[in-house]
Structure 1
Amino acid sequence: MPGFFSWISGLFATPPPAAAATETRLFNPAQSHSPEQHASDAVVVKQLEDHLFCWLLDASPAMLRSEPAGAEQILTELERRLRTSEMEELPRRPGSLPMLMRALSNETTDRKQITDIILSDPSLTDQLLQVANSPYFRPGDSTIESVDQAVFVLGLDGIRNVISAAVMRPMMAARNSREALFAQRAWRWGLTCARATELIARIHRDDTSAHFMVGLLPALAYITIRRELGRIYRAQSAGSEPEPAVLRTALIRHQWAACQLLANVWNLPPKYHAWLLSAERPAPRQAHSALTDGLLLGTREVLRHARQRNLPEDKLAQIVHLTPEQVTPVRKAVLRMLQEGKSSKADA
C-alpha cells in the first residue's frame, strides 16, 4: 500500500518529537469552533489522556513526568524499529482473517459459511468459544458449546464482534506477571472503546463490525509497543522493564503509527487507514469520527467504572460530538458490558 508508506515516511521525516506541541495524541479534537474553544477542548482531552495513562501504567502523575537518564536513546531505537518495520513484537496476521473479513463484509453470507470458515482454523475456534462465553459477550446464562450455536445465538452482527475479539485476544493475553496488570487493563479498555465505537457507528449508519475492530487496534498497539520497548531495554541492559514515564512517552509518540502498521501488516481495507488517520489528524472543522468519539466515551466510562479520575459530565459533553439522547444508550450499553465483565477473573 504505497499511500501508507508515504504517510509513515512523512511522519518520521518530521522534526524529532521532543517538542510536546507537535506530538499527536490519543485524543485529537478538530478545530470546529473558535480557537479559544479548541484550546479548551485540548485541555480537557489531555486531562482524560493523563488519567488513562495513570490507570493503565498503575503510576502516579509524578511518576509519569520523571523520565530517567538515557530514555531518549531507547525511544530513538523504538522509533527506528517502527520506521523500518523491524518491530519484533508486531503480531502476525491470523491466517483465516482475510477469508473471514470477505465473508463478513458480504451481505449474502449465511450462517453456515461463517461457521465453516471458523471451524477451518482450530485455534480460532477455541478462542471464539472462550470469548463468546465470556461475560462481555454471552447474552444469557447458558454456555455456548459450538461455533454453530454461537453464530445462531449471537447473530451475524454479534459474531462479527466476537471474531474480532477472538482474533486479538491471544495477542493481548499477559505472557508473565510483569505485564499482567497492563495487559488486563488494556484489554478491558480496548473492548470498552470498541463497543462504544461500534454503537456510535450505528448512530451514524456506518459499518458497525469494522468500527468494532478498528476500536480494538489502539489497545493492541499499546501492548505491542510495551513489549517492543521491553526487548530494547533488555538488549541495551537498561533493565528488564521500561519505566512508566518512558512507556507513556513511547505510547504518545507512536500509538497511531503502530495502529497504521498493524492495519497494513494485516492488510485491512483502506477505510481502516482512513479512520485511523482521521482520528489522529482531524481536518479543520471535521466532525468527530465514530472512532474518536468511541475512544473518548469508552475511556471515560472505563475509568469511571474502575473508580479512577475521569471527567465530569459537563466536560464529557464538551468534547464528545453527540447529543445527550445519543450518548445515554451508548453509555448504558458500555456500563452493562463492564459490569458483566467484572465477574470474569480472566478480564477483571
Structure 2
Amino acid sequence: MGSIWRRMFPRRKAKVTPRRTAAARPPAPASTAAAPATSHAATDAPSLAQIDERFHRLVLGLPPASQDEPQPVEAALLRRLELLGARFDLRSLPRLPTVLPQLLRTLKSDEAAGAELAKLVGRDPLMVGEVMRATSTVFYRSAQPIGSLQQAVVLLGQDGLRRVITQHVMKPILQGNTGSMGHAAGGRLWGHAERCAHACAWLGRTTGCDAFEAYLAGIVRHAGTGAVVRLLDQLMPGATPPPLSAAFVRHCARLAAQLSLQAARQWELPARVLGALAECQGEVSAASSPLGRALAVADSVASLSLLVESGELPADSELAHSWPGVMPPAVLARCQRDLGQHFTATLDNA
C-alpha cells in the first residue's frame, strides 16, 4: 500500500501559500525602520492558519505538505471523505450517560442540593467512580476520609463536579479512536480538549460567559476530529499517509467542525455552546458572540500549546497580536501564561 501512495503522490518541493483568515494580522508596512520594538515579536509569531494546519497534521499523523493545492487524486479522495462524512453515524461515538442532560440542567441551578446531585450521579456507576476518584486527589483531599457520594459531591462543589463529569464523559469519546492513525490521535485530541476547555473558561471570564458553558464548549470543540480520523483510517487502512496538501487538511478541519456541531446537537448541549461551535465554522470577529470569540481564541491557544510541546513550534511562540478586535493582546498573553502554568506535562508522541 505504501508503494502505491508513493506513486500516486510523488515528492515535490514544498510551496508555501499563506491562507488569509479574518483573524490574521495585517501585513507589515513596507518600511520597518520606525516600527516599535514590539513589532518584531508579532512578525515572528506563527499565523493562525499555520497553527490550525499544523495542529491537524499532528493529530492526523500527516507529514508536512508537498504543496498548497490538492492534486487530482486528492480531489477524488476528498469526495470519498465527504461522502463518508455525510453518512457517518454519530451514534457510533461512545455514548453519553443518559443522566447527563438532566444533571447539567440541575447543575445550572445555584439552589441544587448536594443530596439531589448525589442522587443523579448515583444513577451512573461509572460516574460515581470518577467522582470518588476525583475527591481522593491531592487537590480535593480533605482531613477526614470521604465516606459517601454526597460528601464527595459537596467537597467538589458545583464547578468541580461539572468539570469532573464533563471530563468523564468526553475523555473516552476523544480517546476512543482505533486504527493506524487513531491510537496517537486520541491522546493528542484529549490533550487539546483539556487545554482548550481551560483556556475557554479563562477567557470566558473576561467576556462575561457562563464558566461551565465555556468549559464545555472548549472540551467538545474537536469531538468531530476524532470522527475524521476514523474516516481517514477507512480510506487509507494500514497505509503510510502521503504528504497531503494544505487544502486537503483544511477540508478535513472543516468537516471535523461540522461533525463536532452535529454531535453537540445530538448530545443536547446548551444553546450558547451550539452557537459558539457554529460560529467557529466560519470567520470569528468582534461581532461574534462572547462565547464564540472565547472558543475560537482558546482553540488556537490550545493548539499552539500542543505544537510547542511536540517540538513543532519554538517555545517562545506567542499569539498576543493574532486576534485584533477579537481579544486584547494583554488578555491573550496572560491566558497563554496561565495555560503554560497549568499544563506542563510532555506530549506523548507514542
TM-score tier, shorter chain, comes to 0.7 to 0.9
* Alignment partner of 2:97 out of 88, 94, 97: 94
2:278 is matched with 277
Taking the aligned partners of 1:148 and 1:63, their CA distance within structure 2 comes to 57
SS at match of 1:316: coil
Taking the aligned partners of 2:332 and 2:240, their CA distance within structure 1 comes to 37
Residues 217-232 of structure 1 aligned to structure 2 (within 5 Å):
217-230=220-233, 232=234
1:322 is matched with 327
**Residue 50 (structure 1) aligned with residue 53 (structure 2):** yes
Encode CA deviations 1:60-90: one digit per residue, 9 max, x unaligned: 3146869787544443233234435645644
Residues 26-37 of structure 1 aligned to structure 2 (within 5 Å):
29=22
Structure-2 change in CA distance of 1:192 and 1:145 (3 Å): farther
The letter for the 2-side match of 1:338 is: F
* Native 8 Å contact 2:320 2:330 kept in 1: no
Residues 95-114 of structure 1 aligned to structure 2 (within 5 Å):
95-114=98-117
* Alignment partner of 1:189 out of 188, 192, 205: 192
Encode CA deviations 1:133-166: one digit per residue, 9 max, x unaligned: 67xxx62677988644543333211221221111
* Native 8 Å contact 1:30 1:285 kept in 2: no
Residues 172-251 of structure 1 aligned to structure 2 (within 5 Å):
172-174=174-176, 176=178, 178=180, 179-230=182-233, 232-233=234-235, 238-240=236-238, 243=241, 248-249=249-250, 251=252
**Residue 83 (structure 1) aligned with residue 86 (structure 2):** yes
Give the number of the structure whose alpha-carbon radius of gyration is greater.
2
* Gaps in structure 1 of 5+ consecutive residues: 1-20
1:156 is matched with 158
Q: Which has the higher helix share?
A: 1
Taking the aligned partners of 1:84 and 1:69, their CA distance within structure 2 comes to 23
Taking the aligned partners of 1:110 and 1:184, their CA distance within structure 2 comes to 35
* Native 8 Å contact 1:64 1:248 kept in 2: no
Taking the aligned partners of 1:54 and 1:222, their CA distance within structure 2 comes to 11
1:331 is matched with 336
SS at match of 1:318: coil
Deviates more, 1:116-125 or 1:57-66: 57-66
Structure-2 change in CA distance of 1:242 and 1:116 (3 Å): farther
Q: Offset at 1:46?
A: 0.8
TM-score, normalised with respect to structure 2: 0.72
Q: Percent identical across equivalent pairs? A: 19
Structure-2 change in CA distance of 1:132 and 1:308 (3 Å): farther
RMSD: 4.0
Residues 4-23 of structure 1 aligned to structure 2 (within 5 Å):
none
Q: Offset at 1:304?
A: 2.5
Structure-2 change in CA distance of 1:107 and 1:145 (3 Å): same
Q: Offset at 1:57?
A: 3.5
Taking the aligned partners of 1:147 and 1:200, their CA distance within structure 2 comes to 32
Taking the aligned partners of 2:85 and 2:135, their CA distance within structure 1 comes to 33
Q: Offset at 1:330?
A: 2.8
* Native 8 Å contact 1:157 1:209 kept in 2: yes
* Gaps in structure 2 of 5+ consecutive residues: 1-16, 30-42
Structure-2 change in CA distance of 1:211 and 1:245 (3 Å): farther
SS at match of 1:280: coil
* Alignment partner of 1:304 out of 293, 303, 308: 308
Matched residues, number: 310
* Native 8 Å contact 1:215 1:294 kept in 2: yes
TM-score, normalised with respect to structure 1: 0.72
Structure-2 change in CA distance of 1:303 and 1:335 (3 Å): same
* Native 8 Å contact 1:190 1:219 kept in 2: yes
1:139 is matched with 139
The letter for the 1-side match of 2:197 is: A
* Alignment partner of 1:290 out of 291, 294, 306: 294
Q: Offset at 1:115?
A: 1.9
1:3 is matched with none
Taking the aligned partners of 1:96 and 1:44, their CA distance within structure 2 comes to 42
Taking the aligned partners of 1:163 and 1:202, their CA distance within structure 2 comes to 21
